[in-house]
Structure 1
Amino acid sequence: MENRITNKHDATFKEVFSQKRIAKDFIENNIPKEALNIIDMESFELQKDSFISKELQENFSDLIYRVKVNNRDAYICFLLEHKSYKDKLAIFQVQKYILEFWTSTIQKENKEELPLIIPMIIYHGKEKWNLKTDLRDMIPGFYELPGYFKQRVPVFKYDFFNIGEYEENDFEKLTKLTAMMLKAFKYAFEEDLEVVLKNFLLALEEVKDEEPMDILIYYGEIYLKYIELTNNDIEEEYIEEQIKKLNGKGAVTMSILQKRERLGIEKGIEKGIEKGRQEEKIKIAKNLLNEGVEIALVAKSTGLSKTEVEKLKEEFKN
């Protein structure tokens, strides 16, 4: 179950942050202005690559965006921390990731210049992350050392975001859509399911004045599926009960539930039609076989496979 939730968390994270508008919103509100001034956000593009080795798979998932910094290629890497506890080796794991990125650049792309890489760890575990995010801060007296020593210590540093510790003012600087999706990560493991749903429903309602209904349903469905998995005993009847408690502030969620119901009915109808077609094909095939028509011609006439027709013929013999 833990692996299932981790995989779903990865899938949800990637689905959310692969939306360029959300990734850009997050970056523009979390990178210093002096850095943003030389980043060309118009060049911001999602990449298909991943540099997570087998060794790092239990630690991170990654999502990579290429961007121009001072008119040169650079990469912003979102690294989702898998573990629900703080890992003292995280700073070295991030550097292994960057080294593999650079190694690939040199070996596979045959380049001599290395791109700038900005690693961002996103974490939402319950345990407080009080680890250093800069290797230099882990060496006592580093900043008082002569330059000779400083130049021989590699810069291991990453940006760190603990979504689980976000306060309301942290969400307010983001667009309401981005805030809604980050709240999914923040509240997904809340023990009180009623609190989880209330935050979900209210967050969705806050967005409805800014986004068209199809966008709301798309992101709301992602959010709802995520909550359902991380709270595997939840049922739609319970969600409907919580909606009723919010005095009309659950209209969007009801639309999602109704859409699900419609899709369920439509799929049921499609399955019924397909079953009927298959039964009709079998009936025709049996009649043709009874008339002595060859197997190949029966298969061609009905659309059944040769194996299926042979099986029907065996049934006749028996």
Structure 2
Amino acid sequence: MEKKDKERRPHDKFFKQTFSRKEVILSFLKARLPEEIFNQIDQDNLLLTNREFVSVTGKSRSSDCIFKALIKGTQHYIYLHVEHQSEEDPLMLVRFLEYNAQLIRQHISEHGNTSLPAIVNICLYNGNKPYKGPTNFHDLFPHLKQVERYMFQGFHLVDLHVTTNEELLNWQQAAGAAMVLKQGIHRDFCEWLPTHQDILLNLEKKGYIPYISNVLWYMLSIDDHINAVELLDPKLRKIAMSLAERFRQEGEQRGRQEGEKKGRQEGIQIGEEKGKLEVAKSMLLKGYPIEDIIFLTGLSRSQIQGLL
């Protein structure tokens, strides 16, 4: 164990032993939380519900103290997540964000996704110098003043289902891919191609062959209508046919690999069966009862009798 881990362990242990007590955590929350938040906690059903979180690298880490309670007068939950730190962590906010995401997933798994819980994150710090690390997400993005608008006000939805093709044409190079994706959900390009392949031809004219290959590969992958290729302009059909040939070759290779794998498995099975028969034959010559041979080899009575 590293020296720093040894130094932190007594602090962490003492923190968990004391602050996991209901009367202690309630006194702490009353003293430190804004009154409007503390007053919403249904103290009667406040429960310690520590969790184990797995990082993106697969490392497991237990939370320090997580309490769960109902919000007064509702069936909605609030979590009070208190982490102890004896050292400054410049990415403490990121840790809380990772924990919160996993906590919400666990909550949904347990309670369903009727409503998401509120989460209050608290860091109790007992370092040997004042904590000067960021406590607000805005401080982590000094070069992006509009971070609240871009990152913490929901996500920007682009719904192809309600976006018209006229709007998509304004997307320039992205227009072709977007239109194909929009149509792709129907898995049928036979009616779509005659009126839209001009977009692809324009890309071909500009030399965007890899882009067109990606588009055609997607179309061929999801559309089972053989007429789709026949509807293409000759220039596009040539690209599509080369892709089709590649599909065929890849399919043959996969078939060979699967056949070889199956052959190896069958060979092993045949070898094992042959080995059992040899053992059974030897046991018969030595006078072993058939019942013993059946028990030891797993062969059927008829298989053994066939060796007599």
TM over 0.5: no
Q: TM-score, normalised by structure 1?
A: 0.40
Using CA pairs below 8 Å that are at least 6 residues apart, which structure has the higher relative contact order? 1
